[in-house]
C-alpha cells in the first residue's frame, strides 16, 4: 500500500499564522488600550499606538497569499522591533529589553520562518512511503 505524506506544509503554515495573529491581535489591543488610557482620540490611537499591530496584520494577510513575501516581511519586522527597541529604550533595564524581544520580536521571526518553511515544503515533490 502506498501512502502520501504531506501535512507538514499545512501545519507549518497554520502554526505560523496562529503565532502571527496572536502577536498582531495583542499589539493592536494593547495599542488601543494604551491610547484610551492616555486620552488619545480614535485616529491618534490608531496611528500612534495600534499601527505596529496593523502593519503585522497586513504582513500576515500578504503571507497567506504569498508565503515567501509575507514571511520575509515578518522577519524584517521582527528584526526592526528588536533593533529599534534596543536602540530607543537601551537606557531601560536590560530585563525590559529582553522581555520585549522575547514577546514581540521572536514570535514575528518565528512566524516568518514558518511561512517560508511552509512555502519551501510546498515546492517539494510529495514523499511516497510504501508500507
List, for residues 50-108, the tens digit of each pLDDT value. Answer: 788 889 999 999 999 999 999 999 999 999 988 888 787 777 787 877 887 888 889 99
Burial degree of 8 (CB within 10 A; 0-12, 13-18, 19+): middle
Q: Is residue 127 within 8 Å of 5, Cβ to Cβ? A: yes
**In-domain check, residue 37:** yes
- The larger pLDDT score, comparing residue 47 to residue 12, is at 12
Local confidence band at 131 (pLDDT 50, 70, 90 cut-offs): low
H or E element that contains 128: strand 127-130
Q: Is residue 131 within 8 Å of 1, Cβ to Cβ? A: yes
DSSP H stretches of helix in 38-66: 42-44, 51-65
Domain containing 39 equals 2-124
The dihedrals phi and psi of 40, each to the nearest 5 degrees, come to -75, 150
**In-domain check, residue 118:** yes
Residue 40 has pLDDT above 90, yes or no: no
Share of the chain above pLDDT 90, in %: 40
Confidence at residue 126, expressed as pLDDT on a 0 to 100 scale:
66
How many structural domains is the chain composed of? Answer: 1
Angle of the 51-65 helix axis to the 8-37 helix axis, nearest 10: 160
Amino acid at each position: 500500500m502506498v501512502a502520501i505524506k504531506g501535512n507538514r506544509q499545512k501545519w507549518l503554515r497554520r502554526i505560523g499564522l496562529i503565532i502571527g495573529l496572536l502577536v498582531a491581535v495583542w499589539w493592536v489591543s494593547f495599542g488601543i488600550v494604551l491610547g484610551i488610557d492616555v486620552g488619545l482620540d480614535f485616529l491618534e490611537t490608531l496611528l500612534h499606538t495600534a499601527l505596529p499591530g496593523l502593519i503585522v496584520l497586513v504582513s500576515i494577510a500578504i503571507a497567506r497569499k504569498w508565503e515567501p513575501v509575507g514571511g520575509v516581511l515578518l522577519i524584517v519586522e521582527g528584526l526592526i522591533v528588536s533593533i529599534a527597541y534596543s536602540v530607543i529604550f537601551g537606557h531601560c533595564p536590560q530585563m525590559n529589553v529582553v522581555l520585549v524581544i522575547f514577546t514581540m520580536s521572536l514570535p514575528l521571526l518565528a512566524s516568518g520562518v514558518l511561512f517560508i518553511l511552509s512555502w519551501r515544503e510546498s515546492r517539494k515533490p510529495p514523499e511516497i512511503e510504501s508500507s
